[in-house]
Amino acid sequence: MRRVVVAVLLSAALAGCSSADGGFDVRPPDVEVDTPALREVKARIGMDDCAPGSGEPVTDGLPDVTLPCLGGGPDVDLSSLRGPLVINLWQANCAPCEEEMPALEQFHQQHADRVRVLGVDFNDVHPEGALALAERTGATYPSLADPGGALMAEDAFAVGRRGLPAFVFVDADGAVVGQTSGGVESVDEVEELVAEHLGIDL
């Protein structure tokens, strides 16, 4: 019964968030992810801005969902993104996420020219806590915000329903080619995942 109620509530929430192009624009009115205070923290961290893509939706690609950039910056339609791309799902109150973020930052610093990293503060209504976590761990790769939990309903992000942190891998054509859950402890582990799912040896 609880699952039915959650599904109905989620469906109702998504039904009210359609954008002009037919996709979903996720922006719960009670959660602000772009405020002067959050922008100040993001600037202090030196976190990169989110970068919208230019592609069209593809079969087996990311969903037609537009998310705001955590701490301010351009909105991003996920379906427009192209890889090679590692998407990391995380939350403010996720201890394993905190443990792996330095490894992701090291990967970002070493390999951003070949494989980008994009975080998603997933199903999280605490953007202040999320940026505080990014600051503690030195994470400068960009992160989108999904405070409404819209991605919970998307197959491409089903891995996030099994627990965080989690990864989604997107190839150069925009197709989702892999998912995995569980944290990593080193940049070597991230490189191994990239080789396994994206076929790129770094």
| Domain positions in the chain | 2-198
CB atoms within 10 A of CB 116: 20
Q: pLDDT tens for residues 10-40?
A: 333 333 333 334 443 444 557 899 999 999 9
Q: pLDDT tens for residues 143-192?
A: 999 998 889 999 999 998 888 999 999 999 999 999 999 889 999 999 99
Which CATH number is 2-198 given? 3.40.30.10
Q: pLDDT tens for residues 102-149?
A: 999 999 999 999 999 999 999 999 999 999 999 999 999 999 999 988
Report pTM. Answer: 0.85
CB 108 within 8 A of CB 117: yes
CB 167 within 8 A of CB 89: yes
